[in-house]
Amino acid sequence: MKKNVLLFFALISFQLIDAQSPIYKAMMEDYHFNFYQVCDSAEAYFKNRDKGKGSGYKPFLRWKFENESKYYPTGNR
């Protein structure tokens, strides 16, 4: 019984951690979103946040640089 309760709380805590992740990260993987929508969402997220080490800003810029030339000029993927 104790194992079931611990497992239950572990699953809930992982879901809460995942729910706190920025929305732009999920948008990067979902091809239904336009390239420019993802960029706008990420830049809005980082507008009032620190862009230093560990913030995720550099990986976003790498993704942007790497993928900008892969899509149509309209941003469709």
- Give the model's pLDDT for residue 3: 62
- Give the model's pLDDT for residue 5: 55
At residue 1 the predicted structure's pLDDT band, cuts being 50, 70 and 90, is low
Q: Where are the domains of the chain?
A: 22-77
Q: What gap in Å lies between CA 22 and CA 26, rounded to an integer?
A: 8
Q: What gap in Å lies between CA 18 and CA 51, rounded to an integer?
A: 21
Q: What gap in Å lies between CA 48 and CA 70, rounded to an integer?
A: 29
pTM of this structure: 0.67
Q: What gap in Å lies between CA 49 and CA 63, rounded to an integer?
A: 19
Q: What is the pLDDT of residues 36-77, one digit of tens each?
A: 999 999 999 999 888 889 898 999 999 999 988 888 887 787
Q: In which residue are the tokens 């980082």 written?
A: 46
> Which amino acid makes up residue 20?
Q
Q: What is the pLDDT of residues 7-44, one digit of tens each?
A: 555 545 545 444 456 888 999 898 889 999 999 999 99
Q: In which residue are the tokens 């091809």 written?
A: 31
